[in-house]
Chains A and B, each alone.
Chain A
């Protein structure tokens, strides 16, 4: 557990998604903690470009040898790009969750939930207690 990565420039949700904000756009994936807990990921299904998703609603689903989990958007937004490479190689999410394992790029439609997300220190502390 000690080796898990926690990039400083991201915000984290309690449901273990990270979000990297860039102006009114953002990239979303799942944290190193999440991929480690899920174990080997074997399948991912993402919603399509153009879909508008409210905060807390699923933008896809990920399945590992252990469990299937919904992927939840940390802020409301419209999907403008999905990482279609993951479909054939979902194990990339295990290998590089913050880089090649990114999942969707969104155009933020409502960022009011941003303030409720955790910074890296808060997310680290959150995971310590789990």
Chain B
């Protein structure tokens, strides 16, 4: 997408369609040296407007666009709740190995043993990391993992002959996908308040379980929460919901704080999803694509989305490899996606886990938590931190100052761009006013963290002494302050000539 602006002169880089000149080509094909077979007339069309540009123009166009972009490879990217961790280049090398990259999704099992072995091992490692019995790699992204998990909970209750359970509990600190998933799966959301320490309000939970117990299908909760806080009463929460007959779903978005520290399956969770594009360093943003495997305990194991990879033939001798094959679990909720999930992401996550190993992943989480707590502690005197506790891998602060009225979180974020940093997440979670959600991840050096801390402190000074510096920010970015109201109300994403719709 290109940023639409008012006048031609303001356009940083035109759309590729605007560079098009009739007759210009990028590639010269040799004359055809085999007999030609004309395409059937009904498959030909002359209304498909493709840009006509030379190769060099294409290269320059996309290079310029990439230079306008900001990425983790370019600088610090503390976008809370997103875990924008560095994606090691070795992952990319592995995913491009021809045996993986050129594998056809319809290859038979005998011809895919290497890929199947990798998927099997990844299933096992993810299960081990989280204390679950079984894992399906099928879901294409976190939201689809959530959807799979809630469908499994639904089918579990229906399978027991219980169709009264139509409600799912969701804390008010939850990410918006949680209530959206619940609604999409046909359940009603019951929102739970948080207490003054940012935990689930246990009394409210007890009350709702007492009043509506037989209607409660389960609870979705993120640990650590989107406030970056470990749910201090998690064992109580799980026990109360289980006693009411509900199942526990853990949103694993924040697993980067937990690896090697605590296993959700052992805490009593029945199901969770992993975000390979967060915790396991596969690309995040720009379409990824994501990958959202689900792990389950014994209750939900038969309902896993499929197919999953199993050993179909144990080796007869020590040195021999087993034979792997696909299997649909007994009462599977079905396929979530064509073929076998986003396999390229499985390769990258496998490479990541393999390189770090168990102890290495434990260190990853320790450093992610340490880095977040370091920034939090350094900013405590400058910004209001609404929940003064040790945080997990991220923390939230308030982007406002009592003595600088008119300064909002958004102004601070825009000003951070002038200091060369990607802004943190704004206005989320919703229960914190002017929220700034900061997640440094484990891969940043102390120098980098100190630079960010200094920038945050300087911006706080500027907010008091020169507020317009913040209001007008960013000053150094390729595009200045965007008109967010216009962007939300006049949704015009592209200025290419409108294509006639089919049938016109």
Given contacts A1-B405, A2-B405, A40-B484, are A130 and B427 in contact (CB under 8 A)?
no
For B410, B426, B433, B485, the residue with the greatest tally of chain A CB atoms inside 10 Å of its CB is B485
How many of chain A's residues touch chain B, expressed as a range? 10 to 19
Count of chain B residues with Cβ under 8 Å from any Cβ of A?
12
**Least Cβ–Cβ distance between B388 and chain A, in angstroms:** 17
A-B pair number, CB within 8 angstroms: 25
Q: B408 at the A/B interface (Cβ < 8 Å)?
A: yes
Interface residues of B in 467-490 (CB under 8 A from A): 484-485, 488-489
**Least Cβ–Cβ distance between A108 and chain B, in angstroms:** 25
Given contacts A2-B405, A39-B408, are A67 and B430 in contact (CB under 8 A)?
yes
Given contacts A37-B433, A42-B489, A130-B433, are A65 and B405 in contact (CB under 8 A)?
no
**Least Cβ–Cβ distance between B208 and chain A, in angstroms:** 14
Q: How far is the CA of A63 from the CA of B427 in the complex (A)?
A: 13
Whether the pair B408, A65 counts as a contact (CB closer than 8 A) is no
**Least Cβ–Cβ distance between A98 and chain B, in angstroms:** 21
Interfacial chain B residues near A47, Cβ < 8 Å: none
**Least Cβ–Cβ distance between B247 and chain A, in angstroms:** 27
Interfacial chain A residues near B433, Cβ < 8 Å: 37, 130
Interfacial chain A residues near B410, Cβ < 8 Å: 39, 66
**Least Cβ–Cβ distance between B367 and chain A, in angstroms:** 32
Q: Give the contacting residue for A67; candidates B427, B484, B485, B489; CB below 8 A.
A: B427
Interface residues of B in 21-37 (CB under 8 A from A): none
Whether the pair B485, A40 counts as a contact (CB closer than 8 A) is yes
**Least Cβ–Cβ distance between B294 and chain A, in angstroms:** 27
Interfacial chain B residues near A66, Cβ < 8 Å: 410, 426-427
Interface residues of B in 437-486 (CB under 8 A from A): 484-485
Whether the pair A42, B427 counts as a contact (CB closer than 8 A) is no
Q: A43 at the A/B interface (Cβ < 8 Å)?
A: yes
Whether the pair A91, B485 counts as a contact (CB closer than 8 A) is yes
Q: How far is the CA of A66 from the CA of B427 in the complex (A)?
A: 6
What mask results when residues 68 to 88 of chain A are scored 1 for a CB within 8 Å of chain B, else 0? 010000000000000000000
Whether the pair B430, A65 counts as a contact (CB closer than 8 A) is no
Q: How far is the CA of A93 from the CA of B489 in the complex (A)?
A: 15
Q: How far is the CA of A42 from the CA of B428 in the complex (A)?
A: 18
Chain A residue, CB-CB nearest to B427: A66
Chain A residue, CB-CB nearest to B406: A1
Interfacial chain B residues near A91, Cβ < 8 Å: 485
Chain B residue, CB-CB nearest to A63: B488
Whether the pair A42, B488 counts as a contact (CB closer than 8 A) is yes
Interface residues of A in 1-48 (CB under 8 A from B): 1-2, 37, 39-40, 42-43
Interface residues, chain B, CB within 8 Å of chain A? 405, 408, 410, 426-428, 430, 433, 484-485, 488-489
12 other contacts beyond A37-B433, A39-B408, A130-B433, with CB at 8 A cut-off?
A: A1-B405, A2-B405, A40-B484, A42-B485, A42-B488, A43-B488, A43-B489, A65-B484, A65-B488, A66-B427, A67-B428, A91-B485
